[in-house]
């Protein structure tokens, strides 16, 4: 499949546009503009009112003034480098234009004495006299129509000016072809959106500030186009995943029943619902590609284990992958009692397994003597061969984009994939990042979890915190003390944790342990193990403990300099306590005075434990790119769409994309053909390859 001819002019070189030479073409790259079509989506961020006035009297300086004047006498500078002045007269007053470093002959041509000119620029009072320094526009009366009443202002980069951008944009807009319509007609009518070509022209000719807002119909339409193209790509990826026939994995329920009967509590309704969704996916003849999203402590591990048991009941094997060795060990420890109650064989495989021990595990795995394998990405090395792998569970995969998910599927066997994340993601971002997956959400906490008391404490009250801590230790409790990353320098960060460790040890004795990112892995594991066993009662740590550490007896979390942590991080850290039966507390130590955003973050954490609410607030405060670290998040970069302000459009775009592909999987209908042109226009080549394959 090749690019439709109708789009050729938009994909030509920039130098084919009016006013763009080799030098400015190169400069445009700084704006991410390499072809005429990129200019269509380089939207103005503000505008200047250029509505005509009769006289300088009609504005209050300083202000932008657009007025017709008669040019009077020229007064060249008296000394080198001085100002060049030109007297002008509007209908009511005489005033001055001022130029610096301009050539006299050029100014004589631009503003000939005795002629009329339309000028526009910033008017200022200087010693009570009105003057305009370097007008932005000087036009002959017959060119008056060339200056819009509201002039768009574009983002700039070194080497391009507003004039160059505006001219190039107009030249690109003139090339925009009439495109067939890909938007559902009912949606377009309901929203009052213009046709594509009209929308492109309108966003570059706003008539007032409202034309710059995300809710402007032309802007909203182009934002929707972008989200729709992105969702089509994800949906095509999803259906190509699903088309690859899966294995029917139907459980008998025997092992699951054993585990449920051995539990001291009943699963929540959310857990039951999610287990059913996953089991139904596994029993279907299509490949499962599901995201299990649950807040800290919502009981994802049990749900994942039940899914693994479905694989074993059906005569197959399951694998659970964690991002780090500590987490893999922890999953293994957490699952061992469940595996024992079900009577299934469970093993751990990490990069540390060597020699004979590793060989034995691999032989057992290949022969089907092991049912469930837990490990790091080491489980995907060439020599790891399963007897009959049915399900892969991937834990905490912010570091695991669409590409890796596809790779996981490409291991030859059509294994079902379940991805778990403990990071609650607002719906709009979940759709942008995981739109190719089906999503299950665990939105209730298991019974018996007590809410965590969270308090904000100024650093000046450190001695009160210490007193509280020693009382709690006397009662047999354990605590985390998290130190901040100072200056992003690991050396300093380590120093801040070291210093706090020394001071706590002096106050509390040798029950204090330390763990930080600079330690060798073995030492780190040993320090964690001492805390888990209760040998150390206070663990001083940098943020290495953020994900997944589980010590039910730890019921106090102290976070130092809490104001410099992000919301998601604070929420994850707090989730390390509140796992046992004791009442837990989280103390947020801050350094006064707090910035406005710091205060807003800390109050949000204090007032709610709902990870989804916290994530929505985080999105509102920081924006999408920061929320999941755009560099590694696989989050697409949108040029027009604004995920914070247009979250609602993303949901519509997803259901529209899925609906279109349901009735027209090959995109062959007229609307489907139009959608293909949209994919070409927005560089969604991956999607186009997927249709070609399909």
Q: Let me know: does 374 contact 322? Beta carbons within 8 Å.
A: yes
Task: Quote the pLDDT of residue 147.
Answer: 84
Highest mean pLDDT of the ranges 317-331, 468-482, 603-617, 644-658: 468-482
Cis peptide before 282 (omega within 30 of 0): no
Bridge partners (DSSP) listed for residue 317: 389
**Residues 267-308: tens digit of each pLDDT:** 888 899 999 999 999 998 888 888 888 776 668 888 999 999
> Considering only 467-476, 669-678, 685-694, which range has the smallest mean pLDDT?
685-694
Q: Where are the alpha helices (DSSP H) in 575-646?
A: 596-607, 611-622, 624-627, 630-633
Q: Is the pLDDT of residue 218 over 80?
A: yes
Residue-by-residue DSSP string for 337-405: HHHHHHT--EEEE-TT--HHHHHHHHHHHHHT---EEEESGGGGSTT---SSEEEEEEES-TT--HHHH
| Reported confidence tier of residue 45, pLDDT bands at 50, 70, 90 | confident
Q: Which two tokens stand for residue 560?
A: 């130092």
Q: Is the pLDDT of residue 331 over 90?
A: no
Task: Quote the pLDDT of residue 144.
Answer: 81
* pLDDT (mean) for 13-39: 88
Residue 282 makes CB contacts below 8 A (sequence gap 6+) with: 249, 250, 251, 288, 307, 310, 311, 314, 390, 391, 416
Q: Is the pLDDT of residue 55 over 90?
A: no
* pLDDT (mean) for 365-373: 93
Question: E strands, 155-271, where?
Answer: none
Task: Quote the pLDDT of residue 626.
Answer: 41
Task: Quote the pLDDT of residue 324.
Answer: 77
The model carries a pTM of 0.61
Q: Which residues of 112-143 are buried (b: 16+ CB within 10 A; e: fewer)?
A: eeeeebbbbbbbeeeeeebbbeebbbbbeeee
Query: What domains, with CATH codes, occur in the chain?
Result: 1-47+162-174 (1.10.150), 51-147 (2.40.50.140), 178-243+648-694 (no CATH), 254-442 (3.40.50.300), 453-608 (3.40.50.300)
Computed from CA positions of residues 53, 56, 61, 64, in that sequence, does the dihedral angle turn out positive or negative?
Answer: positive
* pLDDT (mean) for 79-94: 88
Q: Is the pLDDT of residue 411 over 80?
A: no
Q: Which residues of 62-71 are buried (b: 16+ CB within 10 A; e: fewer)?
A: eebbbbbbeb
Task: Quote the pLDDT of residue 194.
Answer: 95
Percent over 90 (pLDDT), the chain = 27
Q: Is the pLDDT of residue 490 over 60?
A: no
Task: Quote the pLDDT of residue 443.
Answer: 74
Measured in degrees and rounded to the nearest 5, phi and psi for residue 168 equal -65, -40
Task: Quote the pLDDT of residue 367.
Answer: 93
Question: How far is Cα 325 from Cα 319, in angstroms, rounded to an integer?
Answer: 15
Question: How far is Cα 140 from Cα 131, in angstroms, rounded to an integer?
Answer: 20
**DSSP 3-state of 249:** coil
For tokens 């912010």, the residue is 398
Pick the residue with more confidence: 106 or 441?
106
Q: Let me know: does 440 contact 291? Beta carbons within 8 Å.
A: yes
Highest mean pLDDT of the ranges 146-150, 198-202, 297-301: 198-202
Q: How many CB atoms lie within 10 A of CB 174?
A: 12
Question: How far is Cα 346 from Cα 340, in angstroms, rounded to an integer?
Answer: 9
Task: Quote the pLDDT of residue 583.
Answer: 85
Pick the residue with more confidence: 569 or 133?
133
**Residues 605-643: tens digit of each pLDDT:** 998 877 777 777 776 665 444 433 333 334 556 788 877
Bridge partners (DSSP) listed for residue 49: 150
Task: Quote the pLDDT of residue 217.
Answer: 93
**Residues 11-20: tens digit of each pLDDT:** 999 889 888 8
**Residues 238-255: tens digit of each pLDDT:** 776 666 667 888 888 889
Q: Which two tokens stand for residue 116?
A: 């009329």
In terms of Cα–Cα distance, which of 430, 374, 429, 354 is closest to 548? 374
| Reported confidence tier of residue 694, pLDDT bands at 50, 70, 90 | very low
Pick the residue with more confidence: 385 or 274?
274
| Reported confidence tier of residue 492, pLDDT bands at 50, 70, 90 | low
Q: Is the pLDDT of residue 117 over 70?
A: yes
Written in H, E and C, the secondary structure of 12-79 is: CCHHHCCCCCHHHHHHHHHHCCCCHHHHHCCCCCEEEECCEECCHHHCCCCEEEEEEEEEEEEECCCC
Task: Quote the pLDDT of residue 469.
Answer: 92
Pick the residue with more confidence: 296 or 453?
453
Q: What is the mean pLDDT of the chain?
A: 83
Q: Is the pLDDT of residue 330 over 60?
A: yes
């Amino acid at each position: 499949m090749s690019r439709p001819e109708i789009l050729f002019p938009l994909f030509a070189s920039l130098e084919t546009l009016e006013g763009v030479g080799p030098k400015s073409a190169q400069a445009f790259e700084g704006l991410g503009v390499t072809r005429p079509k990129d200019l269509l989506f380089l939207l103005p961020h503000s505008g200047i009112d250029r509505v005509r006035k009769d006289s300088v009297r009609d504005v209050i300086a300083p202000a932008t003034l657009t007025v017709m004047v008669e040019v009077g006498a020229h007064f060249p500078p008296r000394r080198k480098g001085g100002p060049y002045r030109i007297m002008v007269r509007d209908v009511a007053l005489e005033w001055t234009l001022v130029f610096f470093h301009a050539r006299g002959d050029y100014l004589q041509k631009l503003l000939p004495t005795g002629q009329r000119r339309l000028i526009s620029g910033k008017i200022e009072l200087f010693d009570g006299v009105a003057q305009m320094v370097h007008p932005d526009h000087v036009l002959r009366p017959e060119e008056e129509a060339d200056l819009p009443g509201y002039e768009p202002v574009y983002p700039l980069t070194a080497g391009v000016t507003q004039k160059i951008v505006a001219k190039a944009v107009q030249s690109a807009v003139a090339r925009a072809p009439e495109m067939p319509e890909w938007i559902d007609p009912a949606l377009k009518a309901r929203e009052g959106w213009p046709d594509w070509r009209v929308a492109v022209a309108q966003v570059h000719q706003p008539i007032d500030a409202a034309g710059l807002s995300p809710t402007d119909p032309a802007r909203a339409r182009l934002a929707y186009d972008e989200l729709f193209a992105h969702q089509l790509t994800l949906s095509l990826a999803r259906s190509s995943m699903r088309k690859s026939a899966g294995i029917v994995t139907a459980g008998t329920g025997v092992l699951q029943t054993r585990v449920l009967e051995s539990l001291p509590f009943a699963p929540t309704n959310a857990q039951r619902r999610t287990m059913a969704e996953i089991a139904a996916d596994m029993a279907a003849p299509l490949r499962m590609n599901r995201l299990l999203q649950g807040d800290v402590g919502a009981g994802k591990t049990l749900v994942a284990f039940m899914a693994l048991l479905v694989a074993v009941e059906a005569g197959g094997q399951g694998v659970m992958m964690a991002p780090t060795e500590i987490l893999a060990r922890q999953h293994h420890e957490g699952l061992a009692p469940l595996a024992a109650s079900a009577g299934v064989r469970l093993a751990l495989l990490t990069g540390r397994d060597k020699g004979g021990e590793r060989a034995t595990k691999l032989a057992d795995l290949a022969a089907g003597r092991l049912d469930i394998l837990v490990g790091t990405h080491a489980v995907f090395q060439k020599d790891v061969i399963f007897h009959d792998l049915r399900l892969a569970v991937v834990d905490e995969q912010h570091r695991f984009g669409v590409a890796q998910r596809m790779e996981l599927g490409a291991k030859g066997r059509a294994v079902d994939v379940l991805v778990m994340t403990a990071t609650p993601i607002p719906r709009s971002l979940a759709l942008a990042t995981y739109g190719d997956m089906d999503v299950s959400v665990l939105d209730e906490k298991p019974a018996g979890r007590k809410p965590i008391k969270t308090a904000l404490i100024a650093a000046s009250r450190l001695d009160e915190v210490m007193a509280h801590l020693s009382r709690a230790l006397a009662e047999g409790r354990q605590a985390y003390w998290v130190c901040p990353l100072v200056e992003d320098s690991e050396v300093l960060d380590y120093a801040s944790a070291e210093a706090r460790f020394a001071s706590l040890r002096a106050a509390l004795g040798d029950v204090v342990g330390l763990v930080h990112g600079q330690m060798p892995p073995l030492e780190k594991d040993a320090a964690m193990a001492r805390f888990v066993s209760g040998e150390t009662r206070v663990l001083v740590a940098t943020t290495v403990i953020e994900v997944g550490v589980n010590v039910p007896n730890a019921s106090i979390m102290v976070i130092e300099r809490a104001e410099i942590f992000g919301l998601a991080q604070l929420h994850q850290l707090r989730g390390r306590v509140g796992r046992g039966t004791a009442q837990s507390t989280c103390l947020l130590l801050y350094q006064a005075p707090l910035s406005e955003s710091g205060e807003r973050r800390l109050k949000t954490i204090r007032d709610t434990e709902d990870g989804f609410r916290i994530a929505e607030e985080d999105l509102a405060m920081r924006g999408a790119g920061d929320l999941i670290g755009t560099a590694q998040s696989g989050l697409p970069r949108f040029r027009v769409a604004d995920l914070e302000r247009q979250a609602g459009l993303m949901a519509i775009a997803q259901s529209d994309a899925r609906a279109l592909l349901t009735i027209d999987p090959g995109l062959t209908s007229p609307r489907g053909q139009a959608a293909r042109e949209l994919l070409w226009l927005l560089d969604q080549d991956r999607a186009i390859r997927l249709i070609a394959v399909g």
